[in-house]
Amino acid sequence: MATSRALFANKMLPEYDYTAIGCWAHSLHNRTYSAAKIMPIKLNYYANRLPLSKIWIPVV
């Protein structure tokens, strides 16, 4: 998962995979706010598909 370019991981249950979920969240935070940024194209891909009215996307 550390080398994945995706923003989402599938099939993790908090009852069993709490540590994995925490690590994934930490990894996403680091990828968003460090030198290894997620490509803006990928952010736009996901932002355009979320069913939310207000989405905050960091400016790259």
5-33 pLDDT per residue, tens: 666 667 778 788 888 888 878 887 777 77
Q: CA 43, CA 11: separation in Å to the nearest integer?
A: 22
If we measure between CA atoms, which residue out of 25, 32, 27, 35 comes closest to residue 47? Answer: 32
- pLDDT tens per residue, range 37-59: 656 556 677 677 766 555 556 65
Q: Is the full-model pTM beyond 0.85?
A: no
Position 14 scores a pLDDT of 79
**49 to each of 12, 31, 52, 53, how far by Cα in Å?**
21, 20, 9, 11
Band of the pLDDT at 60, cuts 50, 70, 90? low
Which run of H or of E encompasses 20? helix 14-33
